[in-house]
Amino acid sequence: MRIRFLISALLLCSCIRNPATGKLELDLVSHDQEVQMGQQAKLDTEQTLGVYKEKPALNDYVAALGKDLAAVSTEPQDPFSYEIVEDSAVNAFALPGGPIFVTRGILGYLNTEAELAAVMGHETGHVCAHHSANQMSKAELAQVGLGLGAAISPTLGSLAQAAGAGLQLLFLKYSRDDETQADELGFRFMTKAGYDPKQMLPLFTMLDGVTKQAGGGKTPAWLETHPNPGNRFEATQNRLKNEFKGSTEGMKVKRDEYLKAIDGIVFGEDPRQGYFKGDTFLDPSLKFQWTLPKGWAHQNSPQAVAAQSPKQDAILQLQAAGKMSPEEAAQKLFSQQGIVQGQPVDVHGAKIARSFQAKTQQGSIEGVAAFIPYQGSTYMLIGYTAAGGLAGYGDTFLSSMSSFGELKDASALNAQPARVKIVHLDAPMSVADFNAKYPSTIKADLLALINGVEAGGQIAAGHAKQIVGGVQK
């Protein structure tokens, strides 16, 4: 009976002709559902990451540009919105049905309004081509496939729940074909809105530069959400030659207007929201510090500070539990199904600290959780590893947790972010000469990249970017 129902579900799958691409595509998500999911995800994004608020006029600038792009898109009736999200990464992303975000981080790397139009046109293309809905439809089929296997094979059935999450994450990433389509549509939309499509070329050069500067380290955020479809620079050149009719002379570039709009914007991570100095995390606004194990990879997000062991088999995490007491926070954690409390452990400053075991979809884990009252709030520190691993990581967890305490260093408490400062050049100037006359607090190769030139090249006369301030790490 279950198998018959699932096969019927497959037969009822519909295909629609995508108005942006002209292709027949699988559609298991209605347009109304797509819009509804996008609007809810928009609220979640705004609450989780936050909208950049220091320059309200810049948000208005981005929204007005987005309105022009949406008007010439293939889906002008959709509830498009364009906002700057408070994220230092060089990135932009689209949600189903219309919400589009550009990060505060990417704005400092762009040099013209036309480049911004290319970024936002690309994301508008993802919405118009319903790429998110298509990927969700594929995920639905993946879930159906797992259900069929579970009905047939008890062994596969026991793995289905754990595998489902991984498949969903895999399918919901954009494909290389999706990226190519979004580039094509972005080219079309920015051109119809009157922007010079040649400005896509320096955009892709910049994104390649960000990737190269990342080296063997963390994958740039742009590539995490936008798989590289190949040589985008060459593909854009071909579109300019074969698809664009006429000259680009007189089309909008708006370099000076754009640079004026971003003058004073925060560049890179904002230390006021917490930052790492070596292995120690410092939070000036909440006035605490926390030292993580040496050699562990770490990350700060609006929700938590987290670190991962070099072997990637253990996690340490710090997050605010809010105004509740340590007893209430502990009760909230340990009352969850599948978590079993263990023995008390010794963590300096903690009101409650205990070992625990838990069962998750990925398997059994064991760890330590500590609840520390501080400045009228409760903080939860938790360290965990796979079952059987606590004996090897227990002392590391406890030592790190015990380092949580008050931040007293005056310079750290008063830390300020680096900012973009726009200066005017009367004549062309080499990057080295520019940096000598207008010293920046970033490396010369990054200074060249954000000004759109090669490391040994010249910055053209006119407006240019200098980076001032920030903290030395």
Ramachandran bin of 216, using left for φ above 0, alpha for ψ from -120 to 50, beta for the remaining angles:
alpha
**In a shared domain, residues 184 and 201:** yes
When pLDDT is averaged across residues 228-241 and rounded to a whole number, the result is 82
Give me the residue label for tokens 């987005």.
Answer: 66
- Distance, in Å, from the CA atom of 398 to the CA atom of 322, rounded to the nearest integer, reads 22
- Considering only 103-117, 218-232, 457-471, which range has the smallest mean pLDDT? 218-232
Residues contacting 436, CB < 8 A, separation 6+: none
pLDDT digits (tens, 9 = 90+) for 43-72: 888 888 889 999 999 999 999 999 999 999
Is the pLDDT at 114 greater than 90? The verdict is: yes
In a domain, 18, yes or no: no
Nearby residues of 348 by Cβ (< 8 Å), 6 or more positions away: 401, 402, 403, 404, 405
333-337 average pLDDT score:
88
pLDDT at position 365 over 60: yes
pLDDT at residue 368 is higher than 60: yes
Domain boundary among 244, 262, 280: 262
Same domain? 67 vs 201: yes
Domain containing 246 equals: 31-131+174-262
Identify which has the larger pLDDT, 301 or 90.
Answer: 90
Decide if 287 is inside a domain. yes
Question: Is 464 a domain residue?
Answer: yes
Contacts of 382-385 with C-beta under 8 Å, sequence gap 24+, read 382/316, 382/317, 383/314, 383/315, 383/316, 383/317, 384/314, 384/315, 384/358, 385/309, 385/313, 385/314, 385/315
Q: Indicate whether 196 belongs to any domain.
A: yes
Mean pLDDT of all residues in 24-35: 67
Say if residue 388 is in the same domain as residue 294: yes
Element containing residue 280 per DSSP (H, E) = strand 280-283
CATH value at residue 404: 3.40.1000.10
Q: Is residue 404, in this structure, part of any structural domain at all?
A: yes
Instruction: Please tell me whether residue 465 adopts helix, strand or coil conformation.
Output: strand
The predicted structure's pLDDT at residue 377: 94
* 66 and 122 fall within a common domain: yes
**256 plus 365 within the same structural domain:** no
For residue 156, pLDDT over 70 is answered with no
What pLDDT is stored for residue 172 in this prediction?
41
Q: Is residue 125 part of a domain?
A: yes
Mean pLDDT (the chain) is: 83
The residue from 218, 240, 262 where one domain ends is: 262
Instruction: Find the range with the poorest average confidence among 156-160, 168-172, 197-201, 419-423.
Output: 156-160
Residues 288 and 357 in one domain: yes
Mean pLDDT, rounded, for 400-415:
96
Per-residue pLDDT at 14 exceeds 50: no
Is there a single domain that holds both residue 56 and residue 117? yes
Are 354 and 345 in contact by the 8 Å Cβ rule? The answer is yes
pLDDT digits (tens, 9 = 90+) for 374-403: 999 999 999 999 999 999 999 999 999 999
User: In this structure, what token pair is assigned to residue 386?
Assistant: 């796979």
pLDDT of residue 225: 62
Least confident of 162-176, 198-212, 407-421: 162-176
**Do 336 and 465 sit in the same domain of this protein?**
no
Residue 244 has pLDDT above 90, yes or no: no
Tell me, yes or no, whether 339 and 362 share the same domain: yes
Rounded to an integer, what distance in angstroms lies between the CA atom of residue 104 and that of residue 456? 27
Same domain, 98 and 213: yes
Instruction: Give residue 18's pLDDT.
Output: 55
Q: Report how far residue 59's alpha carbon sits from residue 66's, in angstroms, rounded to the nearest whole number.
A: 11
Instruction: Please check the confidence at residue 404 and state whether its pLDDT lies above 70.
Output: yes
- What total of structural domains would you count in the chain? 3
Contact call for residues 136 and 172 (beta carbons, < 8 A): yes
**Do the domain assignments include residue 312?**
yes
Asked whether residue 318 falls in the same domain as residue 460, the answer is no
Which pTM does this prediction carry? 0.79
How far apart are alpha carbons 243 and 451 in whole angstroms? 29
Using an 8 Å Cβ cutoff, are 465 and 451 in contact?
yes
Residue 425 has pLDDT above 90, yes or no: yes
Residue 13 above 70 pLDDT? no
Q: Which of 366, 393, 412 is the last residue of a domain?
A: 412
* pLDDT confidence of residue 136: 53
**Looking at the structure, do residues 370 and 238 belong to the same domain, yes or no?**
no
Answer yes or no: is 331 within a domain: yes
